[in-house]
Amino acid sequence: MAGGTLSAMRARLVDTNINEKALLATDYLNHFHEFVMLLELVRDMPDMLDEARKWHPKTYQEHFSESAFPDRDFAIEAYNMSPPEYRGRFDETISRIHS
């Protein structure tokens, strides 16, 4: 990846919820928060257990392509350009959470 391309991407991130350094959006964590919220509801609403069972891990790209996040296409584009020192650790952490 050319330094100019990375700089251009970072310049486009102004006023978005995508981290300028890592090129990753924390909105992806909402995917996991959704599951936690479902589990919390099960105690008072046992029928929510079926919803919790339907939940499945999604990749970063799947999450954003299905979300209402305003910069969803841009989040996917930025993820694909995320520097290896950030994306590698991020992907490894997500893989552990999914397993």
Give CA torsion, residues 55, 59, 77, 6, to 10 deg: 130
Cβ atoms of 90 and 24 closer than 8 Å? yes
- The pLDDT profile of the chain, 99 residues, written as one tens digit per residue, is 445 688 888 888 888 999 999 999 999 999 999 999 999 999 999 999 999 999 999 999 999 999 999 999 999 999 999 999 999 999 999 999 988
Instruction: Give the separation between CA 58 and CA 79, rounded to whole angstroms.
Output: 15
How many Cβ atoms are within 10 Å of 96's Cβ, its own excluded?
8
Cβ atoms of 67 and 58 closer than 8 Å? no
The pLDDT, as a whole number, for residue 7 is: 87
What does pTM read for this prediction? 0.82
Give CA torsion, residues 1, 84, 96, 34, to 10 deg: -60
The pLDDT, as a whole number, for residue 55 is: 93
